[in-house]
Homo-oligomer: A and B are copies of this chain.
Amino acid sequence: MARRSDHAPEELKRLALDAARAIAAEEGLRGITVRRVAERIGYAPGTIYNLFANLDDLIVHLNGMTLDALADALRAAADAPVETRAAQLVDAYFDFVERWPMLWSLLFEHRLPEGVDLPDWYRPKLAALIALVAEALAPLMPDLASDERRATTATMWAGLHGISTLAVSSKLALVVEAEPRRLGHLLVARMLGG
C-alpha cells in the first residue's frame, strides 16, 4: 500500500508531533517510541522516517514546540507592570512547569548522541525565549552594564531551570520542604538586588 495522501506532509508531521506530545505528557521520554507514535496516527513505523531523520530528530522537534509554548506562556507576564513583572514571570514559569511537567522535563532530559548537536533552527527559539525575559527585566537592572545584565538574566534563567528540574524529578523535596515556586521568587528577588 502506498501514496494514501490522507494528509499533506506538513500536516502529517504535525500529527506525529501531536501524538508524540500526548505520549510524552503522560509517560515521559521512556514512553516515546517510533512504533507507538506511528500506531497513534495510523501509519506504519517506516513512515515516521519519511517525516523525521530519526527518533531523536522527532523529539528535538517536539522540544521546539514546547519552547514556543513556554515563550507564549511567558509573554503575558512580560508585559505586566514593572513592579510585579519579575514575580509574574516567575509564576508564569512555574505554572507552565506544573502544567506540563513531562514535556518540560523532556526539554532537558533528552540528549542527542555524542557528536550530534542541536539543529540550527533550535538556537533562535532558545534565544527568543531569553531575549523575551531579558528585555522584560532590563528596566529592573538600570545600574548594570549590558554585559552584567545578560549574565544576571542567564543566571536567573538557569536557576529557575535548576529548581524546576530538581522539583520535577522529586529530588528537591528530598532536601528541602519549601515549594519550588518560593525558591524561584527568592532567587529572582536576590538576583535583582534585594
Q: Does A8 contact B (CB under 8 A)?
A: no
Q: Does A152 contact B (CB under 8 A)?
A: yes
Q: How many residues of A contact B (CB 8 A)?
A: 47
Contact, CB under 8 Å: B172 / A158: yes
Q: Mark A86-110, 1 if CB is under 8 A from B, else 0.
A: 0000000000000000000100110
Min CB–CB distance A167 → chain B (angstroms): 8
Contact with A165, one of B126, B162, B172 (Cβ below 8 angstroms): B162
Contact with A158, one of B154, B162, B174 (Cβ below 8 angstroms): B162
Q: Which residues of A contact B (CB under 8 A)?
A: 27-30, 105, 108-109, 111, 113-114, 117-118, 122-123, 126-127, 130, 150-155, 157-163, 165-166, 169-172, 174-176, 178, 182-183, 186-187, 190-191, 193
